[in-house]
């Protein structure tokens, strides 16, 4: 099904017809309140969508058919889906909406729309699935422009061509995860890039944000799957050659990967696909401490193994997600292949776990029935829906992520946790709420810690509360030598810390490149870099 075929909520996650009723919300809230120990007894209901500020832009006749200034559509395109976004949408708070949403159905229409918008002096924000959690699609601080156009690629959503010899596929940028996988499944192929936002994220958005998928090792970022990219800049097409590898100077693909809509509108890409896995083996391993688990993982990775799943959850997070009782850290370890049995790799990896005190009940083969890690996996995929419920019941629920090398990980984890915990204590009440961690992606030389904050909210003060917690966490990340994002991207929310992280000559090079291909700085201004 295309992203356009079913009405989406204008504020939270997913489809309008999936929003729980008031009664369902009340019983969910009661259960969650008991589990967490806080949250409002009577959940708030989402505000009706208010009338938005009048649009400052009118599409010319040839584009009128693919442009909309309708309230709900503009509202949905004005925020991503971070906690801050959901809270504001939930309360009907849209002070600065986009003016027009343009949904081209062909590359020719992308060209026409971009040309018109640039000539009209508008800012243009490329839009995929709108699942950004970093303010990537939000029109902030764009006063110098005649208006803001959200250029929605969602109607370009097909698998266009498959090369079964080289195992690559040409895919239109607006293809959502399910759409893309359905197009490949017809041929027994798969991309197997499953971020938690899989249902609504698009390929173009993934490329523009350097998204991280479910693979915990080796093919972690979308970067690893991209063979070539085609994008439209205000000064012409940028298209790279399909190559398995190349040493020809700075890579044009690398420059578009993570460009966050600032350099070009990605319209399609060739991606490396694979045959669907037939062989699987997995186990859930318990460790007395998070650090015993971390040492086991490091040994597995440094021995050269590449498990598809290798997620280590701390004891508190295991308890909060109903995956454990809080007395042990939990490692979800899985191997897969389309080609050969993977039990031997799992067996050797489990030996590493045993050496660090790991214990497991059973090993699961290709038959997934009775898989006890299923509880965690289900919680992982349900989380986006649950977060809307958390907003309604007064629970701050948000995540942040980073990466760091192994030798610094323990100290870094301690300092980031302490800074975040003390901010939660100060802002939400001493000892209330939780700050938990899991390692989502791991490498031979380090790991990506992913933190979750659950804390009591004060009605109407949620944004200030979260902003203060997030600032404390981000300061600690940068001070500790980590990256402000491992896979969520920079957007507008991470700018102050990204600016501290990136080398200054690189910032000038990026601004120079943008000026060369986007002389009027029309494309997503304010994301990544400011106009010099």
Q: Which residues bind ligand FAD (CB under 6 A)?
A: 80-81, 125-133, 136-137, 153, 173, 195-197, 201-202, 204-206, 208-209, 211-212, 260-261, 265-266, 384, 487-489, 524, 527
Least separation, in Å, of the C-beta of 36 and ligand FAD? 19
Q: How near is the Cβ of 111 to ligand FAD at its closest, in Å?
A: 14
Q: How far is the CB of 201 from ligand FAD (least distance, A)?
A: 4
Least Å from the CB of residue 169 to ligand FAD: 17
Handedness of CA 256, 170, 174, 109 (dihedral sign): positive
Between 102 and 527, name the residue whose CB sits nearer to ligand FAD: 527
- Cα dihedral value 98, 207, 8, 60, nearest 10: 40
Cα separation values, 481 from 217, 402, 405, 451, 496, Å: 22, 10, 9, 16, 15
Looking at beta carbons only, is 206 or 296 nearer to ligand FAD?
A: 206
b/e per residue 399-434 (b: at least 16 CB within 10 A): bbbbbbebeebeebbebbbebbbebbeebbeeeebb
Structure-token pair, residue 453: 């904050």
Smaller CB separation from ligand FAD, 104 or 358: 104
Cross-strand partners of 232: 237, 265
For the bound state, the minimum distance from the C-beta of residue 471 to ligand FAD, rounded and expressed in Å, comes to 20
Instruction: Output the CA torsion sign for 477, 483, 487, 492.
Output: positive
Output DSSP code: residue 339: S
84 has which bridge partners?
none
Q: Which is nearer to ligand FAD, 197 or 349 (CB)?
A: 197
Pick 116 or 215: Cβ nearer ligand FAD: 215
10 Å CB burial of residue 473 (0-12, 13-18, 19+) is buried
Tokens of 350: 């489990």
Contact 191, 159 (CB under 8 A): no
Strand 100-102 to strand 148-152: parallel, antiparallel, or no bridges (unpaired)? Answer: parallel
Closest residue to ligand FAD, based on beta-carbon distance = 205
For the chain, counts of helices (H) and of strands (E):
16, 18
Tokens for 397, please give them: 């629920």
Nearest-angstrom CA–CA distance, 305 and 301? 5
- 209 or 452: whose CB is closer to ligand FAD? 209
Cβ of residue 354: shortest distance to ligand FAD, in angstroms?
30
- Closer to ligand FAD by Cβ: residue 151 or 346: 151
CB of 494 to ligand FAD, least distance (A): 12
- Give the nearer residue to ligand FAD in terms of CB position, either 84 or 286: 84
CB neighbours (10 Å) of residue 181? 20
**Which of the 8 DSSP states describes residue 335?**
E
We find the least distance from the C-beta atom of residue 194 to ligand FAD, in angstroms, to be 8
């Amino acid at each position: 099904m295309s992203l356009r075929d079913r009405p989406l909520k204008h504020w939270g996650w997913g489809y309008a017809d999936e929003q729980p009723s008031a009664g369902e919300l009340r019983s969910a809230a009661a259960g969650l309140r008991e589990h967490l120990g806080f949250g409002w007894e009577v959940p708030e209901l989402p505000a009706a969508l208010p009338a938005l500020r009048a649009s400052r832009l009118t599409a010319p006749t040839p584009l009128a058919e693919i442009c909309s200034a309708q309230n709900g559509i503009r509202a949905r395109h004005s925020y991503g889906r971070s906690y801050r976004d959901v809270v504001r949408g939930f309360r009907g708070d849209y002070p600065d909406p986009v003016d027009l949403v343009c949904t081209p159905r062909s590359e020719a229409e992308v060209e026409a729309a971009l040309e018109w918008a640039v000539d009209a002096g508008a800012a243009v924000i490329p839009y995929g699935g709108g699942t950004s959690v970093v303010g990537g699609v939000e029109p902030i601080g764009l006063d110098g422009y005649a208006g803001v156009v959200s250029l929605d690629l969602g109607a370009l959503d097909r698998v266009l061509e498959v090369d079964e010899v080289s195992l690559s596929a040409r895919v239109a940028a607006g293809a959502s995860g399910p759409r893309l996988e359905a197009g490949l499944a017809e041929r027994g192929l798969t991309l197997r890039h499953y971020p938690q936002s899989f249902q609504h994220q698009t390929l173009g958005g993934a490329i523009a944000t350097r998204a991280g998928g479910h693979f915990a090792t080796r093919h972690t970022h979308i970067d690893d799957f991209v063979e070539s990219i085609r994008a439209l800049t205000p000064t012409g097409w940028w298209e790279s050659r399909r190559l398995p590898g190349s040493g020809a100077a700075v890579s044009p693909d690398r420059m578009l990967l993570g460009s966050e809509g600032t350099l070009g509108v990605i319209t399609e890409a060739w991606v490396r696909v694979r045959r669907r896995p037939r062989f699987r083996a997995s186990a859930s391993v318990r460790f007395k401490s998070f650090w015993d688990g971390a040492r086991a993982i490091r040994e597995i990775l440094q021995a050269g193994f590449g498990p598809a799943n290798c997620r280590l959850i701390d004891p508190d997070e295991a308890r909060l997600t109903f995956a454990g009782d809080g007395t042990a850290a939990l490692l979800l370890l899985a191997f897969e292949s389309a080609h050969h049995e993977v039990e031997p790799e799992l067996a050797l990896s489990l030996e590493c776990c045993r050496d660090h005190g790991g214990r497991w009940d059973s090993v699961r083969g290709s038959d997934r029935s009775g898989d006890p890690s299923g509880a965690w996996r289900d919680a992982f995929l349900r989380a986006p829906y649950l977060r809307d419920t958390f907003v309604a019941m007064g629970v701050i629920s948000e995540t942040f992520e980073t990466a760091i090398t192994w030798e610094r990980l323990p100290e870094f984890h301690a300092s980031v946790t302490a800074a975040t915990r003390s901010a939660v204590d100060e802002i939400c009440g001493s000892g209330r709420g939780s700050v938990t961690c899991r390692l989502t992606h791991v490498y031979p030389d380090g790991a990506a810690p992913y933190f979750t904050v659950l804390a009591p909210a004060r009605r109407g003060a949620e944004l200030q509360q979260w902003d203060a917690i997030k600032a404390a966490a981000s300061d600690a990340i940068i001070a500790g030598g980590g990256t402000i994002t491992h896979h969520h991207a920079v957007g507008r929310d991470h700018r102050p810390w990204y600016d501290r992280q990136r080398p200054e000559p690189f910032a000038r090079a990026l601004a120079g490149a943008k000026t060369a291909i986007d002389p009027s700085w029309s494309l997503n201004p304010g994301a990544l870099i400011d106009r010099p």
